Amino acid sequence: MERTDFIKTKDDIIRNIMTLYSYLKGELGDEYKNWSIDKMVRGKNFVVEVIDSKICFAPSRFAGYIDNSKDKHDENHGDGTQTDEKIKIYYNKIQDERLDLLLQNELLKYGVSSGEKKYWIAKDTTVDDIIRVSKTKSQHIPYNLEYDKYWHIQMHLPEGKGGTQIDSTLMLLESEPVIGTGEWNDNQCKNFKSIENGNIVLVRKGSQAIALCQVIGDNFTDEKLTEKYINVNFRKVRILDWADNYKQPRSGLFSQGTFSSCRKNTEQYQYIDDWLKYMKSIAFTNKCAKLLRSKHNIILQGAPGTGKTYNTAAIALEVLGINDVDLTDHVTVMKKYRELQDDRIFFTTFHQSLDYEDFVEGLKPHIQTNANGESIGVTYEPEDGIFKRACNAVETDGSKDIIECIDDYLQKIKGFENKRKIPTLSGRSSLYIWWKEGNATLSTRSTNSTSKREGDYTPSPLNIEKIKLQALGKGSENNWQQYAQAFIEAVKNEYHAKTNKSVVLIIDEINRGNVSKIFGELITLLESDKRDTGNHPIKVMLPYSKTMFGVPSNLYIIGTMNTTDRSTGTLDYALRRRFAFVTLQANPEIIESHYNKLNNPELKIKAIQLFNNIKAFIMNPKHLCGDSGIDDLMVGHSYFMASSEEELLNKVEYEILPLIAEYINDGIISVSDEEKKRAFHAWLNLQPMQETEDEEINTEDEN
């Protein structure tokens, strides 16, 4: 019997992919696992989706039926034509060697391989976007481990076979990434073999960094690899991250030795160590910005001193697309932040007396004067609060309308010979764009395209009318939305056109205000689908100005919330469900990095010891009371970061100890007077508190 239970939404496809991956994981036994592996090998066309930051593949025939399963598929799976018709509503079919490589890497997990395939990718996604996910492996970086050595790797061809450097990138793009060395120098080969598994290597080509990798395999030889790279010794590696995702290491930092260990306390070792921390910091900022773009409203929550307000600036710049600033350099971040204040970034702090009239709009007194400047009375007129000003700032004036600019720009790129090269939204790759006069579409092609077809071939044409609607915020180019936005940004840069811009509103201490009193009826409008370009846009009549008002989709709200402060209670559920929450924890690595920059190892040891001792004191099961946990109460890392021992001592005496004393007085932690006295005495001398013998015994008994 012919199947008619085809997918109806994109979510149906994703659900099928998750079903297939549950089989692959063996959740239903070996029979289902082996069946799904066979389907992966035999499949000709694959749907590609990113699910929970992981790239997933599924044969399109399996993905095309609603709530598909092994039994349903075995009974009838059709010829693929009908499922393709349903899938192409949401996806575009392409062929790309890079996706072949990613699929092979996936299949190797199950001990199988396959040949070239064709792929369905979402219409609002590019292969570059998928590749970028494949390169983001930060969740695998074991930041908490200590290494005996870091290494830097520079690969050459053997003498007599060119004598030039190998393109290390190709080695790392193997289905199982490898690094290798030539046979020309026995000593270098010995060094290469001695790198222990788990160590970090910086792979270079000359002075240019390619990637940070972790060695995960022993030395081996492989004829096929040797034929490709003229090398005889290889090691398997895990790519931690690609250099073009982050800062390039300084040229000349490393010696020219092909395999050199970077021992601790050396500049090279410290540089790689700092780079790993840099990657982790950027990963956090990117994660928050991605969440903010999706949810539109997030709250950074945590104990005092964990960097909640500190981090809002970098997140704001990232979500605004500011890419000419090092987001880990707080000085340059704040400089750019101040340039954008009251234009694209707005800041306020909630408190108990703040209300709707201050935040949204209210009647404010205005003194009336006569021709002589004499006061003749007072009138009350509507005045915008910071929220309404931030919403209104989304629109910016320019010399020309965006639609006019697009039409002018098309004339400049008329004909393939006048094509332009423009950056993608990420700025990490680029596109060729041109327009053939009379066409209703704009021609585009990635500069990384490996197509062997004629020069003016365009695999991703953009509908010009839909581009214009997207520029106005009234629609989107649903096939290649990100390419269309890259084109729109290029037009804006060319003409400084009138258009809409993204704006960030930062609300510090959001839980200290009466949320219902401050937001009023606008709480409903905060949801992304209730905003002006959402699926269910809503506008309300403002009470004073009597104007219709909606919240723009490109307004982003970042709140901060001190989880220790119980005096104001918790956020009400109406606001809570409209925000995503990110918890910041006290982080000793930030303390360590701070003192490394100061080159003060002695003070670093004292600060880290204090941090660990105070953390152990707070989280002691005998001390914690109520429902507060260590993430709510632990004194943040900023309290332990000082420029001198005197400053650290002042922070302990006048900031840390009063905070812990307040915890004790409020009954948040329970400590005897004697224990409190001994702890405070030790910490005032920048020493860890020593437990008494009885306390040690009691602790062991409780465990």
**79-108 confidence digits (pLDDT tens):** 778 888 889 888 999 887 778 778 877 887
Q: State how far the Cα of 602 lies from the Cα of 686, in Å rounded to an integer.
A: 12
CA 319 to chain centre: 10
The sign of the CA dihedral 397, 402, 407, 410 is positive
Average pLDDT over residues 621-644: 82
Which residues neighbour 114 within 8 Å (Cβ) at sequence distance 6 or greater? 40, 41, 43, 103, 104, 107
pLDDT of residue 211: 79
Average pLDDT score over residue span 189-198 = 67
- pLDDT at residue 649 in the model: 95
Question: What is the pLDDT, as a whole number, of residue 428?
Answer: 67
Whether pLDDT at 110 is above 80:
no
More confident residue, 261 or 445: 445
pLDDT-based confidence at 499, cuts 50/70/90? Answer: low
Secondary structure string (H, E, C) spanning 81-135? HHHHHHHCCCEEEECCHHHHHHHHHHHHCCCCCCCCCEEEEECCCCHHHHHHHHH
Euclidean distance between the first and the last CA atom of the chain, given in angstroms as a whole number: 64
The amino acid occupying position 439 is N
What's the mean pLDDT in 633-639?
A: 88
- Read off the tokens for 598: 């100061």
- Side-by-side strand order, sheet with 208-215: 178-181, 233-242, 208-215, 200-205, 149-154, 259-263
For residues 516 and 597, give the distance between their C-alpha atoms in angstroms, rounded to a whole number.
45
Classify strands 233-242 and 420-423 as parallel, antiparallel or unpaired: unpaired
Give yes or no for residue 164 having a pLDDT over 80: no
Instruction: Specify the pLDDT at position 145.
Output: 34
CB 558 within 8 A of CB 315: yes
Q: What are phi and psi of 656, to 5 degrees?
A: -70, -50
Tens digit of each residue's pLDDT (9 = 90 or more) over 385-422 = 899 999 888 865 444 578 888 998 999 999 888 899 99
**pLDDT given for residue 255 in this prediction:** 44
Taking the model in full, what pTM does it have? 0.57
pLDDT at 148: 46
Q: Residue 458: is it exposed, middle or buried by C-beta count within 10 angstroms (0-12/13-18/19+)?
A: buried
Model confidence at 657, pLDDT cuts 50, 70, 90, reads very high
pLDDT value of position 566 = 55
Quick check: 521 pLDDT over 70?
Answer: yes
Q: Which residue has the tokens 């709140």?
A: 559
Nearest to 443 by CA among 435, 455, 431: 435
- Closest to 499 (Cα-Cα) out of 392, 399, 405, 395: 395
More confident residue, 658 or 400: 658
Position 141 scores a pLDDT of: 31
- Averaged pLDDT for residues 638-662: 93
Confidence check: pLDDT of 146 > 50: no
Q: Which residues make beta-bridge pairs with 559?
A: 299, 507
Task: Name the residue with tokens 């690899």.
Answer: 225
Backbone angles phi, psi at 501, to 5 degrees: -125, 155
> Is a pLDDT exceeding 90 seen at residue 665?
no
Assess contact for 138 and 279: CB atoms under 8 A. yes
DSSP bridge pairs for 320:
none
pLDDT: is 274 or 301 the higher one?
301
Among 391, 358, 389, 312, which Cα is nearest to 519's?
358
Identify the residue with better confidence: 325 or 677: 677
Angle between helices 601-619 and 657-665 (to 10 degrees): 0
> Which pLDDT tens digit goes with each residue over 344-400?
999 999 988 889 999 998 888 877 777 777 777 888 878 888 999 998 888 654 445
* 208 φ/ψ angles, rounded to the nearest 5 degrees: -90, 125
Only one residue has tokens 């010794």, namely 233
Please tell me the distance from the alpha carbon of residue 448 to that of residue 128, in angstroms, as a whole number. 9
Both tokens of residue 509? Answer: 């201490």
Is the separation of the CB atoms in 557 and 288 below 8 Å? Answer: no
Whether the predicted pLDDT of 605 surpasses 60: yes
Top pLDDT among 52 and 620 is at 620
Question: Taking all residues of the chain, what is their mean pLDDT, rounded to a whole number?
Answer: 79
Q: Is the pLDDT of residue 452 over 70?
A: no
What confidence score (pLDDT) does residue 397 get?
A: 47
pLDDT value of position 245: 56
Would you say residue 603 has pLDDT above 70?
yes
Residue 519: count of CB within 10 angstroms of its CB: 20
> How many beta carbons lie within 10 A of that of residue 624, not counting itself?
18
Provide the pLDDT confidence category of residue 181 given band limits of 50, 70 and 90. low
- Residue of 395, 324, 315 whose CA lies nearest to 347: 315
Q: What is the pLDDT of residue 265?
A: 64
Determine the Cα–Cα distance for residues 361 and 518; give it in Å rounded to an integer. Answer: 10
Say if CB 418 and CB 434 are below 8 A apart. yes
Q: Is the pLDDT of residue 633 over 60?
A: yes
- List the beta bridge partners of residue 366: 379
Confidence of residue 610 (pLDDT cuts 50, 70, 90): very high
pLDDT tens per residue, range 540-578: 888 888 888 889 888 999 999 888 765 544 566 777 788
Beta strands in 354-477 (DSSP E): 361-369, 375-384, 395-396, 420-423, 430-434, 441-446, 462-463
**Stretch 592-621: mean pLDDT:** 87
> What are 470's two structure tokens?
């997207």
Backbone angles phi, psi at 106, to 5 degrees: -70, -45
Long-range contacts of the stretch 685-690 (C-beta < 8 A, 24+): 686/606, 686/610, 686/645, 686/648, 686/649, 686/652, 687/609, 688/609, 688/610, 688/612, 688/613, 689/613, 689/617
Q: What does the alpha-carbon distance between residue 607 and residue 630 come to, in Å, rounded to a whole number? A: 19
Arithmetic mean of pLDDT, 414-442: 85
For the segment 202-218, the average pLDDT, to the nearest whole number, is 76
What burial class does residue 134 get, using C-beta atoms within 10 Å of its C-beta: 0-12 exposed, 13-18 middle, 19+ buried? middle
Classify residue 309 by burial, with Cβ atoms within 10 Å: 0-12, 13-18, 19+. middle
